[in-house]
Chains A and B, each alone.
Chain A
Amino acid sequence: MRNKISALLFGTAMALSVASIASADDKVVKIGVLSDQSGLYADLAGPGSTLAAQMAIEDSGLKAKGWTIDLISGDHQNKPDIGTTIARQWFDVDKVDTIVDVPNSGVALAVNNVVKEKNGVYINSGAATSDLTNAQCTPNTVHWTYDTYMLAHATGQALVKAGGDTWFFLTADYAFGAALERDTTAVVTANGGKVVGGVKHPLNTADFSSFLLQAQASKAKIIGLANAGGDTTNSIKQAAEFGIVKGGQKLAALLLFLTDVKAIGLETAQGLNFTETFYWDLNDNTRAFSKRFSEKMKSGAPPTMVQAGVYAGLLHYFKALDALGGNPHDGAKVVAKMKTIPTDDPLFGKGEVEANGRVTHDAYLFEVKKPSESKGPWDFYKLVGTVPGNQAFTPLDKSTCALLKK
């Protein structure tokens, strides 16, 4: 046993010394895409996120500059335990430097702690929780694409300005729904609107008719859906059945993805308002990227905003690596570098990585097209309004991130 331990120690010492020798021009980096490959989020992140990461590596041009970039992917199966074990193993055994994507707020926050402990880099694109850049922010985390604050804020502000000044909320009865409702209510009242009522429904409700009847009776102009996934799609579908949109009330989904609209179908989803930060058909750049992307996707689907966020986040990370010139293994240092470079990529445009790790970029309010307006299989949205990046996300003076209190 004693021999074994000393051998182990010797081995570690060797490894350390080799590492310190190599650090001068160490240009080897390994990226892990940790996503939900099979569950609820597989369509909007999953294999598409891995593809986006591959494309980011190809497009970064770092290989030509002598870098070696490896990519692995894993399935966290929406279980925080599995997510953290994979993350730990990636850092300890597989020598991964950077973890990207990670949809599902529970898993995302769990992995957040591991990345900090191991001093890696964490570029989250898939999770909604704004805690990542507030109470639980770390010097190793960058949060791209969206969060609950932004969704609530952008949707609430744009709709009230467009005349939707009375609101009724259908809220999923757990922390996520409550956060969405709270943030949206704040924006609605700040802009002169009024919340006339609301109802809390349990998670994974199959039947929304009771709640929709109450929403209908409230006569509110906007019915805000502070829920996610199957709850949102079911409430939208049943709202159409109860003639709510035809009766003149508008539905505002606070969290909805391209793939959800596809799943509901335009017939039912038409007229629905919601916010995303990326849509494949926004401009020439997004169309060019999406064309390349969907050609490589098995299903032929264009990228969702989460997948686009993986791509853009990695491109920015590679810029920081390029600026550092090598030795990419000190996560906090790399993230600090990412915060000094303004972001600028073909998908999200210009923005910045704020001190709390939040990436700011424009957010767009969309309305779902009528079936007659749609010209292709994925032609779903029309742009209704744009919220500039510096207004869409939590203002730094309101962020509770400890990094800001230096």
Chain B
Amino acid sequence: MQALYAQLLVGLINGSFYALLSLGLAVIFGMLNIINFAHGALYMMGAFVAYFLLNLGGINYWWALLIAPVVVGVFGMILERTMLQWLAGLDHLYGLLLTFGIALIVQGVFQNYFGSSGLPYSIPDQLKGGVNLGFMFLPVYRGWVVIFSLVVCLATWFLIEKTQLGAYLRAATENPTLVRAFGINVPRMITLTYGLGVGLAALAGVLSAPINQVRPLMGADLIIVVFAVVVIGGMGSIMGSIITGFALGVIEGLTKYFYPEASNTVVFVLMVVVLLVKPTGLTGRAA
């Protein structure tokens, strides 16, 4: 039973990465109607920026949490301005193909310069060590990841659902022409939204840098799992993607305990089951 609690908690930690990533995807999809295949590559860039900040600039983890999402966010906005915006009005599939190409380029370039075995990034001193919870040894850093990502997710939800800016965003998603008529610069808003979604991916990357090796392909397989998460939860609501993300992390954690061989496939199996029962996903609207 003790071990079960431990697995639940560990699952929640993984869930926070899924939540951050699927949240970013949902935000971008809401505004741009693009499934951002480059999300995994941008997540990886976030981790690399943290690495460079530390090793070239001596800038620590805490600043990296702030700077990396901004740097990657700006990079994302440049992508949006120079490429993605030309796809407006075309079939959605072109967005998927374009971002897939971008992902290949980004990952390829990083692989060329940094090899594939990856680079080390250690846990910041303040978060080293662990707490004995009785049922498990919880590294402080893991606890921090859960709390921090929960806060970020809720803040994003609040920003979009409860603020004036969020209201414009949602309105522009529904009816861009009308919002433009109110004198709001819709293209700029789209750019900023893309930057925000990408920034969330980069933030997840920084959070994962001390846990996982900083590797060029660290996001390549993860993105497919996140896609499944998104399919399960549907793209309907911001809250939906947050909850699905955490929930799937927990389910995956339980699988690792009861039947570890299936822990990589459980998300996909779950996706199949959900699709058979409810083809639109749990909270989704039709595409």
Q: Which residues of B contact A209 (CB under 8 A)?
A: 10, 13, 142
Stretch of A57-65, A229-237, A327-335, A373-381 that contacts chain B:
A229-237
Mask, A215-226, CB within 8 Å of B = 1, is: 011000000000
Q: Which residues of A contact B222 (CB under 8 A)?
A: 206
Check B260 against A199 for contact (C-beta < 8 Å): yes
One of A202, A229, A243, A264 near B130 (C-beta < 8 A): A243
Judged by a CB distance under 8 angstroms, whether A201 is at the interface is yes
Judged by a CB distance under 8 angstroms, whether A23 is at the interface is no
- A-B pair number, CB within 8 angstroms: 114
Tell me the count of chain B residues lying within 8 A, CB to CB, of chain A.
43
Check A43 against B260 for contact (C-beta < 8 Å): no
Q: How far does the Cβ of A137 sit from chain B's closest Cβ, in whole Å?
A: 30
Judged by a CB distance under 8 angstroms, whether B136 is at the interface is yes
Judged by a CB distance under 8 angstroms, whether B91 is at the interface is no
CA distance A242 to B6 in the complex (A): 12
Stretch of B57-65, B67-75, B212-220, B232-240 that contacts chain A:
B212-220
Mask, A35-59, CB within 8 Å of B = 1, is: 0001110111000000000000000
Q: Which residues of A contact B221 (CB under 8 A)?
A: 204, 206
Check B213 against A241 for contact (C-beta < 8 Å): no
Q: Which residues of A contact B273 (CB under 8 A)?
A: none
Stretch of B81-89, B118-126, B161-169 that contacts chain A:
B118-126
Point out which of A210, A237, A241 has the most chain B C-beta atoms below 10 A from its C-beta: A210
Judged by a CB distance under 8 angstroms, whether A211 is at the interface is yes
One of A38, A216, A264, A267 near B213 (C-beta < 8 A): A264
In the complex formed, the residue of B with least CB distance to A229 is: B117
Check B122 against A265 for contact (C-beta < 8 Å): yes
Judged by a CB distance under 8 angstroms, whether A386 is at the interface is no
CA distance A268 to B139 in the complex (A): 15
Top-3 shortest CB links A-B:
A265-B120, A202-B264, A210-B256
| 27 A-B residue pairings within 8 Å (CB atoms) | A40-B116, A40-B117, A42-B116, A43-B117, A200-B261, A202-B264, A207-B211, A209-B10, A210-B256, A210-B257, A213-B7, A213-B136, A214-B3, A214-B257, A230-B118, A230-B215, A234-B213, A237-B120, A237-B212, A237-B213, A241-B142, A259-B115, A260-B117, A263-B119, A264-B120, A264-B213, A267-B120
A residues sitting closer than 8 Å to B (CB atoms) are 38-40, 42-44, 173, 199-207, 209-211, 213-214, 216-217, 229-230, 233-234, 237-238, 241-243, 259-260, 262-265, 267-268
Query: Given contacts A207-B10, A207-B212, A264-B120, could you give 14 more A-B pairs where the C-beta distance is less than 8 Å?
Result: A38-B112, A40-B116, A173-B260, A203-B264, A210-B256, A210-B257, A211-B260, A214-B257, A234-B213, A241-B130, A262-B117, A263-B115, A263-B118, A263-B120
